[in-house]
Amino acid sequence: GQQVMQIPQYQHVQEGEDFTTYCNSSTTLSNIQWYKQRPGGHPVFLIQLVKSGEVKKQKRLTFQFGEAKKNSSLHITATQTTDVGTYFCAASGSARQLTFGSGTQLTVLP
């Protein structure tokens, strides 16, 4: 299936700092989805991006889809302890099946 590389694997930030996770592919993606999984929980859908260069915002979260549709990012402004969890991108390419990235585990230090 479609391979997506997600970085970083881990990120520790002080509460109030910003956080960004990146998802990269060597091939063009049809779309990309982002999920959040709290510790001990299950993945929860956050958003889907479909268009080249698309930017969507959800409160302090900003999602971007690259112009070439080969990469995406999730940026959190002024992190809070409630942001703790693992953020996954999930993408599909020619295979038309979702493949999940390895996730970025975010720790927010109070």
Partner 1 sequence: DAGVIQSPRHEVTEMGQEVTLRCKPISGHNSLFWYRQTMMRGLELLIYFNNNVPIDDSGMPEDRFSAKMPNASFSTLKIQPSEPRDSAVYFCASSFGRGGYNEKLFFGSGTQLSVL
Q: Which of 19, 24, 36, 43 binds partner 1 (CB under 8 A)?
A: 43
Q: Tokens 């929980």 sit at which residue?
A: 41
Asked if residues 14 and 55 have their Cβ atoms less than 8 Å apart, the reply is no
Q: Backbone dihedral region of 103: left (phi > 0), alpha (psi from -120 to 50 degrees) or beta?
A: left
Contact between 96 and partner 1 by CB under 8 A: the answer reads: yes
How far apart CA 42 and CA 107 sit, in angstroms, is 17
Q: Under the criterion CB under 8 A, does residue 45 sit at the interface with partner 1?
A: yes
Q: Tell the smallest beta-carbon distance from residue 75 to partner 1 (Å).
A: 21
Binding site for partner 1 (CB under 8 A): 1, 30-31, 33, 35, 41-45, 48, 50, 88, 90, 92, 96-103
